[in-house]
Amino acid sequence: MRIGAHVDSADPLAEAAARGAEAVQFFLTDPQKYNSPKPRADAEQIRASGIDVYVHAPYIINVASPNNRIRIPSRKLLMAHARAAAELGAKGLIVHGGHVGSGADLEAGFANWRKAFEYAENDGGLPLPVLIENTAGGDNACARRFDALARLWDAVGSFGAGFCLDTCHAFAGGEDLVGIVDRVKAITGRIDLIHANDSKGGFDSGQDRHDNLGSGKIDTELVVAAIRASGAPAIVETPGGIDGQTADIALLRERAGN
């Protein structure tokens, strides 16, 4: 059972050590900007560390967008982050499912996802798995409701897309956490990573507001059950810095371990 946390990118190995974490996730650039990652001085240490590394792509990426001034840079940025993440020996690059504008046809979003993978194939291929993450909000999201997720997977499954299940996003997005691993796997066939977060927002609130385990609206047993059922590594993206995340990791290790 590999458990870790989303941490600041300045010194992720020190952050992992401070939390007793076996895995870390971090951004390579400002998540709100279209910046390509630069080579890191600590790449060799990260690769040799034995810590499982996950890279979270910028939030601003939306390869599903019908707007080509968003979609085209998003595709390129995704590829740049995939290459930089692979340089660090990362196990996956997490990217949000994205959305189309209000009133737009979701089908266009799924087709754009397919084109993003085709673009990557034509650009030398993805050097590591891209893990598409379910999202909490929006009525025109590609990976909020699982009926949409199923249509997304029809478009991208054949490209070897991976899946990251965020428990906060599922709950706030209106998907029941009871039996959720089986429902996801019936669609995607795989869960590569769990984002183990509690939710400040209520069920189906659409609010993406993470909380420490046991402090929000989710029954922690359902988060534990999702980790156990999936057998996937878990990353907490919870508040409270070292103290808050160390407590969340310890709770998961105690209850989801073995």
Distance CA 29, CA 38 (A): 8
Of 32-40, 159-167, 179-187, 223-231, the segment contacting Zn ion by CB under 5 A is: 159-167
From the CB of 137, what's the least distance to Zn ion, in Å?
Answer: 13
Query: Are 37 and 28 in contact, with CB atoms under 8 Å apart?
Result: yes
Distance CA 28, CA 33 (A): 11
The pair of structure tokens assigned to 243 is 């103290």
From the CB of 72, what's the least distance to Zn ion, in Å?
Answer: 25
Contacts of 237 (CB under 8 A, 6+ apart): 5, 6, 25, 166, 168, 195, 197, 210
Contacts of 249 (CB under 8 A, 6+ apart): 3, 4, 5, 19, 20, 21, 236
| Phi, psi of 204, rounded to the nearest 5 degrees | 60, 20
Return the number of the residue (166 or 198) whose C-beta is nearest Zn ion.
166
Return the number of the residue (39 or 152) whose C-beta is nearest Zn ion.
152
Q: Which residue of 19, 71, 96, 195 would you call a contact of Zn ion, by CB under 5 A? A: 195
Provide the pairing of β-strand 193-195 with 198-199.
Answer: unpaired
From the CB of 132, what's the least distance to Zn ion, in Å?
Answer: 11
Closest-CB residue for Zn ion? 195
Task: Count the site residues for Zn ion by CB under 5 A.
Answer: 2
From the CB of 38, what's the least distance to Zn ion, in Å?
Answer: 24
Return the number of the residue (65 or 238) whose C-beta is nearest Zn ion.
238
Binding mask 161-190 for Zn ion (x = CB under 5 A): -----x------------------------
From the CB of 222, what's the least distance to Zn ion, in Å?
Answer: 16
Residue 210 makes contact with Zn ion by CB under 5 A: no
Q: Closest by alpha carbon to 240, among 32, 6, 20? A: 6
Contacts with Zn ion, residue ranges (CB under 5 A): 166, 195
